[in-house]
Structure 1
Amino acid sequence: MRRNPQKKQKENVPLNSLPETGLLRLPRVLMFIEVSKSTWWGMIRQGMAPKPIKLSKRCSAWRAEDIRAVIDGTFTPETQEGVKNQ
């Protein structure tokens, strides 16, 4: 018998739980910016979201300041500091 998995409901995460500084991994970013993974990566390619910081070959993170700028609508690629163009 197959189960029909139900889609998890995302909890509303208060914006004040977003740290002022630090790094956020993808699942945490998507808690604040409610889009799918593929949409998020598309936003990065289009310059609508910050490029990740590579912590290792398979580990990426985003600056909390950049995520806050995306939420506030003030993000531009020029506002992103310290990330090389890849």
Structure 2
Amino acid sequence: MNAPAHFDAPDRLLRLPEVSEMVGLSKSMIYRKMRDGSFPAAIKPGGVSTRWKESEVCRWVEKVSENRIVGSHHG
């Protein structure tokens, strides 16, 4: 039995330093944006560890980049 295509590449769970490096934001800014709903929510896979789904962080980066490009056009 074949697994659906979206299970072929599991979504990595990123630690805060990886997320911070990917998005160029500090820890406090990431948590502030999470609270106001403008950044993907973290998950707690167990214990006290906090992780973010790589796909969600990548989508956020793409969305922010698209907004910046669209917003930078003055016509």
Give the alignment's TM-score, normalised by structure 2. Answer: 0.66
Q: Alpha carbons of 1:21 and 1:56: their partners in 2 closer, same or farther (altered >3 Å)?
A: closer
**Alignment partner of 1:29 is 2:16:** no
Larger Rg: 2
1:57 to 39, 47, 51: 47
Rounded to whole Å, the distance in 2 between the matches of 1:27 and 1:61 is 10
2:32 to 39, 42, 46: 42
Letter in 1 for 2:25: V
Matched with 1:12 is none
C-alpha deviation, 1:56, in angstroms: 2.2
Q: Which runs of 5+ in 1 are unaligned?
A: 1-19, 75-86
What count of residue pairs does the alignment treat as equivalent?
Answer: 55
Q: CA RMSD in A?
A: 1.7
1:69 to 31, 48, 59: 59
Relative to total residues, which structure has the larger strand share, 1 or 2?
1
Relative to total residues, which structure has the larger helix share, 1 or 2?
2
Report % sequence identity: 27
The ranges of structure 1 where at least 4 consecutive aligned residues each deviate by more than 4 angstroms after the TM superposition are none
